[in-house]
Structure 1
Amino acid sequence: MNKDQHIEELLKDAGGRVSLRADEKALHREKLLTFMEAGRKPVRSPYAAFFVSSARYVTAFALFILIGGTGVVSASGSATPGDLLYPVRLKVKEPVHLALTQSPEEKTGLEVAFAGERLKEFAAASSEGKLNTDTVALITDSLSEHLANAQDGIQELHEDGDTEIAIQTNADLHSLLSANQSI
C-alpha cells in the first residue's frame, strides 16, 4: 500500500465518523438555495472594453467611408474626360442614377441624355487635345453602352404600348446623333 492509498483510506474512515449536525445542514442548505435562486451573475469579460471601442471605430470608419464616398461621387459630377474623377462619374454616379430611376420612360431618357453628354465630352476633349487611348476607350465604351440601352428602352416602350413616347425618344436620339455626326 502506497502513501496516497493510505491517506485516501483515512479520509474515507474519517468521513464515515464525522458528520454535520442538523442545524449546520439546514444552514448550508439555505445558503446553497439562496445562491441558486440568485442565479448566475455575469462576469464582465476582460476583452469587453476592446469590443466596445472597436465597435465605435468600425462605426466611425463606416461613416467616414460613406461621407467620403458620397463626396467623391458628388465631386465627380462635373468631371470631364482626362480628370481623375471622370471614371467615377461613368462607373458609379451614372449607374446609380439609372438604378434609382423608376419609370422606363425616364430611364430611356437618361440613357439618351448620357449618350449626348458622351458625344459633347468627346468633342470638347478632342478640341482641347485631352484625348488619349484610355480616354477614347472609356468614352466609346460608355457611349456604346448608353446607345444600346437607349435602343433597348425604346423597344421596350414600344412593346409596352407607349408608342408616342418611344417615337419621341427615338427622334431625340436620332437628332442627337445627327447633330454630332461630324464626331
Structure 2
Amino acid sequence: MKEDQPIGSGYLTRDVSVISDLVRTLSTRLTNQHEASEKLEETAASILEIEQQQLQELLTELGREESEFKSENDEPDTSLSKSVLIARENVELEQQLQRLQFVGGKSQELLKQYMRAMEEIVADSQIYAVDMDHAVSQIEKSYKEHESQAEARKLELLEESKELKSKLLQVKKQVRKAQIGFQEDD
C-alpha cells in the first residue's frame, strides 16, 4: 500500500484482497507448522518408543530390571522424564562400553606380552635343545674315545701280559736249568 494513495479510494478492494491473501498465507503457514509440530511429536514419540525398546533390550542383556528406576516406595520416579533416564542410561552404557574397550585393550596388550614371552620361551627352549644335543654328541664322542683308548690299553696290557708270561717262562726255564745244573754239580 502506497502512502500517497488514500485508503478510501478505489484501492480498498485491492487492499482487502491483499490482506485476505496474507491472512490465508499466514493461516496456511500456521496449519503447516501445526501439522509439522504434530509430525515432530509423533516422530519424537516413535523415537522415544524405539529408544525405550532398545533400552529395555539392553537392560535385559545387562540383567537389570525396570524396577531399578523406581523410587524407594516402589512408585515410578516421575521427577525425571523418561528421556532423561534414557540419556542417563545411555551415558552409563557408553561408560561401560569404554571400560570394556579399555579392558579389551589391556587384555590384548597382555595377550601380546604373553605371546612375546612364549616366543622367547620357545626360542630359549630351541637354544637349550641345541645345546643339549651338542652336549650329548660331545659325551658320546668322548665315551667312544675313552672306549677306544680303553680297548687299546687293554690290548697293550694283554700284549705286555703275554710278554711278561713269556719272560716268566724263560726265567722259570733258566731257574730250572740252573737248579738242574746245581744239582749236577753236587
State the TM-score, normalizing by the size of structure 1.
0.29
Structure holding more helix per residue: 2
Normalising to structure 2: TM-score of the pair? 0.28
Task: Pick the structure with greater CA Rg.
Answer: 2
